[in-house]
Amino acid sequence: MANDDFSGASLPSPGTDASRRRVVYFYEPTIGDYYYGQGHPMKPHRIRMTHNLIVHYNLHHRMEIINPFPAGPADIGKFHSADYVDFLESVTPESLHDHEHARHLKKFNVGEDCPVFDGMFSFCQASAGGSIGAAVKLNLRDADIAINWAGGLHHAKKSEASGFCYVNDIRVLYIDIDIHHGDGVEEAFYTTDRVMTVSFHKYGDFFPGTGHIKDVGHGQGKNYSLNVPLNDGIDDDSFRELFRPVIRKVMDAYQPEAVVLQCGADSLAGDRLGCFNLSVKGHADCLRFLRSFNVPLMVLGGGGYTMRNVARCWCYETAVAVGVEPDNKLPFNEYFEYFGPDYTLHVRPTPVENHNSPADLEKIRNLLLEQISRLTHTPSVQFQTAPPVTRVPEQPEQGMDIRPKPRIWTGASEDCESDAEA
């Protein structure tokens, strides 16, 4: 579509980042119909709200739109155990309490944060299918950036659901800016150097309680897991001062053939479950920075529990991906009343204290840069498709942020002992 058909201006990015990227966007039209249950904070309907904004900003004219092919049980089983996949495929709200399924609920950690809901496996298939399709497009060099906002559910383990996540859909250089630690993805690749994981997250008395700065990987994977523990109230400037130098050095040392960015929007200011203070532009700066490397990039969703702000954020990040700057004034759309009273695209930071001192951030940055310098080599691995992701139901979030207290990062040297060293 010609530029004069679009109201936004090109992003004022200097250098190679100013060039246009071939973007594919995966969207399953029924994704917003799935419902986790009354009171559950995970709401798939936010994907539909995001899509609605994308369309009304005319961003869809700048991308190839693909309805993802559902991931089959065999696709999901490439990462997850066969008995877990069989359970997800067969269990329903009606069969939940029969003897065969009831005995597996605890084993697979299904029930509270991750309830059984109508169409659960179909949701998983659509979510995972979008991520697999995105990987295929990038692998075939049919796209520079592939977006699946229904993906990025990063807590699921090989044989259990966790943190609203049923199946795990991610591989390669994986960067996670969700407020919760990307524990499922890290665990999947903790002992290998074929995939490097980098997670920026709230650390302390907070779900899932993992992601200490000295959790660096094991065996062949030592130093290929990077954890960035943060405290409440981190703002755009503080986040950028960590993200850019750390990721720049990772890109230089690891030289990935493809990058996966998990854009969990619960790190935004004012999120229902979050405690960070990022603006939409501050959150999107991570995507803008990675886009500048011109490396195949998969962009996924994740957390985000204030729906109107999730839609704002992912719509704006879609605009960043295609290289335009949308108007802050929202176009009229089916959800217009939800965006009041300002009816604007951007979320303002809130007047809260930033508990991340410059001294602590500098200490974290130096520790991470030192860890990156220990990488022994750059593995030569062809980009592969990722294990699938599943749909998350909706039910009270109790228990998501109420967990046994883990270590709390204070910046002190005694906090730097790993579990293995303790």
> According to the model, what pLDDT value does residue 377 have?
57
Query: Domain for residue 5, yes or no?
Result: no
> According to the model, what pLDDT value does residue 319 have?
98
Among residues 40, 155, 212, 283, which one is catalytic? 155
Q: Please tell me whether 274 is known to bind a ligand.
A: no
What distance separates the 2 farthest-apart alpha carbons in the chain? 62
Q: Please tell me whether 104 is known to bind a ligand.
A: no
Domain that holds residue 286: 13-416
The domain total for the chain is 1
Query: Domain for residue 202, yes or no?
Result: yes
pLDDT tens, residue by residue, 7-53? 333 333 333 455 689 999 999 999 888 767 777 777 888 999 999 99
214, amino acid identity = K
pLDDT tens, residue by residue, 289-320? 999 999 999 999 999 999 999 999 999 999 99
**Structure-token pair, residue 67:** 């309805």
Query: pTM value?
Result: 0.80
User: Which of residues 174 and 207 earns the better pLDDT score?
Assistant: 174
CATH value at residue 34: 3.40.800.20
Over residues 100-111, mean pLDDT: 76
Q: Please tell me whether 271 is known to bind a ligand.
A: no
> According to the model, what pLDDT value does residue 95 have?
76
Considering only 97-101, 138-142, 189-193, 264-268, which range has the smallest mean pLDDT?
A: 97-101
DSSP, collapsed to helix, strand or coil, labels residue 143 as coil
User: Which of residues 397 and 348 earns the better pLDDT score?
Assistant: 348
Nearest to 383 by CA among 135, 79, 137, 24: 135
Over residues 378-384, mean pLDDT: 48
Query: Domain for residue 126, yes or no?
Result: yes
Residue 333, pLDDT > 90, answer yes
> What is the residue-averaged pLDDT of the chain?
81
Query: Domain for residue 2, yes or no?
Result: no
Query: Domain for residue 227, yes or no?
Result: yes
Q: Please tell me whether 415 is known to bind a ligand.
A: no
**Structure-token pair, residue 27:** 């969207």
155 among known catalytic residues = yes
Sign of CA pseudo-dihedral 376, 377, 381, 384:
positive
Task: Tell me how far CA of residue 183 lies from CA of 155, 330, 420, in angstroms.
Answer: 6, 35, 17
Residue 379, pLDDT > 50, answer yes
Query: Domain for residue 1, yes or no?
Result: no
Nearest to 151 by CA among 386, 400, 321: 386
Q: Please tell me whether 77 is known to bind a ligand.
A: no
Q: Please tell me whether 57 is known to bind a ligand.
A: no
Please say whether the beta carbons of 186 and 163 come within 8 A. Answer: no
